[in-house]
């Protein structure tokens, strides 16, 4: 994680007993910061482009996303998400709260 990167902007849209829905907006160069997902989640890209993913083991991968093409991940994913595009990037994250 670079200290000089701007931070992605989370906007919580729903937070109830079942789900948390957050819109993540990434200005160019922005990052989430290192984090571990505490819930299963679905990501719905609102933008088409590539995001850089820094995994907790030091691996760096490029993730190609297509607007409207969702994907799901399980609890425990640890990473930093970076928008290396020269344009803003937005996705909606839907976290399923466990009973």
pLDDT at 1: 52
Residue 99 scores a pLDDT above 90: no
16-59 pLDDT, tens digit each? 999 999 999 999 999 999 999 999 999 999 999 999 999 999 99
In CATH terms, 9-96 corresponds, of 1.10.10.410, 2.40.160.20, 2.60.120.10, 3.40.50.2300, to 2.60.120.10
Residue 90: count other Cβ atoms within 10 Å of its Cβ. 17
Per-residue pLDDT at 4 = 87
Secondary structure in 3-state letters for the chain: CCCCCCECEEEEEEECCCEEEEEEEECCCCECCCEECCCEEEEEECCCEEEEEEECCCCEEEEEECCCCCEEECCCCEEEEECCCCCCEEEEEEEECCC
**Mean pLDDT, to the nearest integer, of 70-93?**
97
pLDDT given for residue 13 in this prediction: 98
pLDDT score recorded for residue 98? 78
């Amino acid at each position: 994680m670079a200290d000089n990167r701007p931070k992605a902007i989370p906007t919580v849209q729903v937070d109830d007993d079942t789900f948390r829905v957050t819109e993540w907006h990434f200005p160019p160069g922005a990052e989430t910061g290192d984090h571990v997902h505490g819930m299963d989640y679905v990501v719905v890209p609102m933008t088409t482009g590539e995001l850089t993913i820094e995994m907790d083991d030091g691996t760096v991968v490029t993730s190609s996303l297509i607007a409207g093409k969702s994907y799901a991940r399980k609890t425990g994913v640890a990473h930093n998400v970076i928008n290396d595009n020269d344009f803003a990037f937005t996705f909606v994250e839907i976290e399923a709260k466990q009973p």
